[in-house]
Structure 1
Amino acid sequence: MELENRRRAGWLSKNSMMSHIKDQLLLKSELSVWIFLLLIHCSEGQHQLIGPTQPIVAMFGDDIVLPCRLEPAVDAAARTVEWSRPDLKQRIIHFRRDSVDLLTEQNPSYTRRTSLSISKLKSGDVSLKLSKVKLSDAGTYKCIVSKYGTESAVELVVGSVSSPEIEVSKDSSSVVLQCESAGWYPEPEVLWLDAEGNLLSAGPTETVRGPDDLYSVSSRVTVEKKHGNKFTCRVQQNNINQTRDTWIHVSADLFMVHSNLSARITTTMAACVMTIAVVVFIVWKWGQTRTKRQKEETELRKREMWMIGNDVELELLMEGQRDREQSMLGREKMKYLEMKKAKFDEQLQKNEEELKHVQQVIEVFKKQKEDLKTQKEKLLSLQEKEKMKIKEIDMMKDPLLDKKNKQQKREKAKQEAAQKNTEHEELLKNTEKLLETTEEMIVKMTERKGKLKTNKEQIVKHLKSTEQQIELQKKLEESERKEDKDNPPLNKQTTEQLQGRPQVELDQPEEEHNNPC
């Protein structure tokens, strides 16, 4: 009995111990579950949406992906994903919930142009694909995954580009290049570069904005042979970091033709205008000088006649006051001489100015003469080259051996050489005529210079004579003043005394007669 009780007690003890162990295991299991759930919650709270740090640039009409992903990566296929544009009134661009795209509230401008990749969603990539990008798509987009409470912003910049085209045109004196390019956004700038990459000075760029908001640009530049033969038109837009280049090669013959034509027109017109202007100015100057000189001579004659008339009148009518008349005549003579000297000084100054001008004109004509001689030599050299070119073409011609195409090219080259030769002959004739006219003008102006020098000598001679007369008159007046000082005239008081003295002497006998003493 006792043994049985011991067995029963041991069994109960074992059952109690087993129960206690089970309870501990159950508690540990529940604790592990809670810890696991807590870790999941904490890890979920640490997820972030990662987007680009720089704007995304898309070209008009292309497909583009707006990047956005969960970090750390987690399956987002069943999550709520929202793409929006806060600047729009209807801001929803794409919305997905419970693995279904819900696009009833989508902005109509994005209809059938947005999508999310299901395979990428499973790896946490919630990037939005935008098809057939429009200019109006430019803006800031927001990416939101609702469960994680985070969002990311993506800025989209939309641009449009096209390759430029260059056209060559000719005018009377230069070669003009025109560059055009249509379908740009935003508005671009146009640059011209020479063969070495240096910027060329061009006119203002013409810009037109079309109904599709795309820009068309056009630019013109005038080029010369010194810039080289290769020219590049560059259209660029820095905001979208896009550049398009087109280059063109301009043949040297094109520059040569225009250079010869320009030289002919410039030389002929400049020489003709200069010759006409100088001749007109010289005729006008001579007329002005002659008129002024005639007026001055007339005034001098009048003054001399007036002085002679005064002298005769004074001598006839004022003979008793000759000393006073001579004194007045001396003052008038001094005034006349000073006026005469002033006139000669003025004539001398004008003569020197005209002489200086004539010398300058002669120098201009001499320079023009040298230029025309140089031009003549160049034309003769070009003429000889064209003649040699025609001879070489004639010697190469062989109808039996040449093909029809080559023969036509040679005939065309011969015609061009003959035309250039004719132009050179015409230009040479004009140059020789201008050279002859220039030499004649140099002779005439040299003669005019000689006459002016002779006139200057005469003026200087008269001027010195007048100055000597003035000095002599000054000495005369000084001598008269000294003589008047040594023999002063009678004053009024002395005259009265002399006039009253005889009256006193006549009165004295009466006083003596009345005085008995």
Structure 2
Amino acid sequence: MIHFTLTATVWITVSLSVTSRMTPIKNKHLLVLNHVVFVLLFLTQTCGGQHQMIGPTQPVVAMIGDDITLPCHLEPAVDVVDLTVDWSRTDLKPRSVYVRREGVELLTEQNPLYTGRTSLSVNKLQCGDISLKLSTVKLSDAGTYKCLVPKFNAETVVMLAVGSVSSPVIELTNAKNEIMLECKSNGWYPEPQMLWVYSEGKPISVEPTKNVRGSDGLYTVSSKVTVEKGQSYSFTCKVQQKNISQIKEAHIHVSGDLFMVQSNTAVHIIINLAVCLISIGTAVILIWKCGQKKTKIRIHDEEENELHQTEMEEKSQRECEEKKRLEDELQNNEEDLKHIRQTIEKLMEQKTFLKNQREKLITLLQEDKTEMKEAVKKLEKDKAPTFDKDKKMHKRGDKKANLEKRTEVHEELLKMTEKLMEETENIIIQMTERKGKLEKDKEQIIKHLREKQRNERDLEETLRETSEKH
């Protein structure tokens, strides 16, 4: 849009500089052509004022794979749907994360890392809310983002911290006189800390913690502790990352009984006796269970029916929530489609107007060339050196010079018109591609919405039948 404005300014300046030396008819053509530029300038103007961009004072924290929103809004609120809105990161090339100019999303200027993952709400833009929705957060998304509206010279920065966590696992290795406990957790970012705490909450001596960063950029952390014979403790392994406020724990109880030597005869006798008692007890339990089987089956069936009823109700609620989300998404899609279609319509009108002006300029250039040929012929005829002929040649020479200047102006204006037509065509192509994508998205949303509606009807029918049976 800045390029359009500069081009229009040069166009008007050049036109005005030669208006006084051109005929009224030619001036009229120039005035019509200048009108095109003023129309373009008018479309880019919005009301100015003193505005301030407001963003979060603390970094936004997101886990890998999350969908998050980077807050940013103008105060006082103003409609920025048709203004330039720019989200960028200075550490990237190209730096643009999301660019919107005159209500049009410019996909060609966006960094490929963010393709298909950024969006703004048209409804929120009408209220000055420029918050950026970022889908499927990646580790590379961490950094400082700048939110900018050039119209008001208002900008702010938003820090995004990206993290990843996983639950630790404790593995136990039993040796003759000791037990080795190893706590391991992978898939962390940023690099975490690991510590052991026993039942009284005091830290204990452990082997040095090992932190290894994988090819995916995530850290695997592990640590070992040895428990000697006779000890009996409850251990907790903690993995924490303070920057993203995440703590994960794993617990294990180590008993001194694990170190008992089971090789003597008395132990074998006790074990055999215990096996006999267990066998007798098992037989008694089996006889008792046979008498209770029918009762348990009946109770089980009732519990299963209740559980099924609860699951169906929960599933129905989830389907209802998903349906509501799809309906909201469909509404946003239709609003975006409407705006895109209006933009394409305006651009097509502008293209037609520029095409007509180009044809008029071509006609003017042809007239200029014809007049130039006639002027040259007359100059060649009046080569005889007489006072009257010298005077005529002088006038015709001036006319030829004016024709050359006028031809130069028309050629420059023709170049500018063709350039504006080319840029308009490029934007139409981009808008048409965006329109096609939105229409495909709309078809998918409608398809999913119909499926959810069918599921909702089926669930309601099933719930009604279950209620009638009971």
Greater helix share, 1 or 2? 1
Higher relative contact order (CA 8 A, sep 6+): 2
TM-score w.r.t. the length of structure 1 is 0.43
TM-score w.r.t. the length of structure 2 is 0.47
Q: Which entry has the higher C-alpha Rg, 1 or 2? A: 1
